[in-house]
Amino acid sequence: MLLMDNIWIQENIKKFYKRKVVFITGAGISVSSGIPDFRSKNGIFEEIKSKYKVNGVDLFSYRFSIDPKTRSIYLEYISKLKKLVDSSKPSFSHFFFKYFSTRSKKFRVYSQNIDSLEEKAGLFYSEDSETKLVYLHGDLKYLRCINCGNKEDYIGSGGGSTTNTEFKEIFCRSCSTPRKNIPLHTNIIHYYQDHPYSDLISKCIQKDTGCNLLVVVGTRLDVFGVKNMVRYFRKTSRNLLAIFVNPEPPKKEIEYLFDFHYPGKSDDFFLVVLRNIEEYKMLRRIKRLSIFNEEDEKAKEEIEKQLVEDKV
């Protein structure tokens, strides 16, 4: 695994343009949006441990989330997290995905995040194998009935029956009765929970076999299943360029999965890629002109001058 810098990106921008691309993202891409990551010193798990004296993995486990003895703690934290997510705006990285989706032969983002900021930036999720966005760990957009599967919008604040500003239970309107209220549960995929969208994810991964650009960004790949996804693409895709984008390098045990490590933040990486793609496209348009008259030559010089100024 080699280090990648901005000069390498500039000199090899063809490797990013019109490719079959897979992104695997983690909480790091949302930090600049004001949402903490999970496992850092100031992350979500540390906050949970400090305030609730509970291990972060335990709070996000399925048993903890539905156990009547611990459910109130879960509801309180999820309600606060929902409020933070709803008030957050997409980062440059989120907007880049929408931009890049139109400049790739094939494109898919596999997101470990539950904040849905990709959708706020214009890249939308759908429950079919053509979706350009896949939620590996669910989302906070909806609540589901644990009995009948009824799904309702999760309104984090304001009016409506799905509002939960006081950390109280929200009950299903489809199957609850006067004698028995059936609670709605978040659409998050918890630890030790069967994945309701596993078939969809498998179909998407199969369709993405043969990708030639894999970018893992904003995650340390601590989740076993996501780590296995990277192994799968590495094994099944010929001529794959695999890039790990994170301020810290990958763990030694997974270094072999990557060709390059870009030691920086996701926003910085994507900004460099975007600028160089736009420059590359401009130069291609210039080269298509086989014969230049004087006016064309002047126009060419002006364009090249502007590109140099923009780069500076």
Residue 290, judged by CB atoms within 10 A of its CB (0-12, 13-18, 19+), counts as: exposed
Catalytic residue list contains 137: yes
Task: With beta carbons less than 8 A apart as the criterion, state whether 100 and 93 touch.
Answer: no
CA–CA dist 104, 81 (Å, integer): 34
Measured in whole angstroms, the distance separating CA 257 from the mean position of its chain's CA atoms is 20
The helix (H) or strand (E) run that includes residue 213 is: strand 213-217
Which amino acid is present at 5? D
CA–CA dist 224, 244 (Å, integer): 17
Q: Which residues contact 234 (CB under 8 A, 6 or more apart)?
A: 214, 240, 242, 257
Looking at 137, 185, 190, 261, which residue is catalytic?
A: 137
Q: What are phi and psi of 248, to 5 degrees?
A: -100, 145
Question: Does 175 show up as a binding residue in the annotation?
Answer: yes
Task: With beta carbons less than 8 A apart as the criterion, state whether 218 and 92 touch.
Answer: no
Residues linked to residue 226 through DSSP beta bridges, in sequence order: none
Question: Does 204 show up as a binding residue in the annotation?
Answer: no
b vs e for 216-247, b when ≥16 Cβ sit within 10 Å of the residue's Cβ? bbbbbbebeebbebbeebbeebeebbbbbbbe
CA–CA dist 212, 123 (Å, integer): 21
Catalytic residues: 137
- Annotated binding residues for Zn(2+): 145, 148, 172, 175
- Annotated binding residues: 145, 148, 172, 175
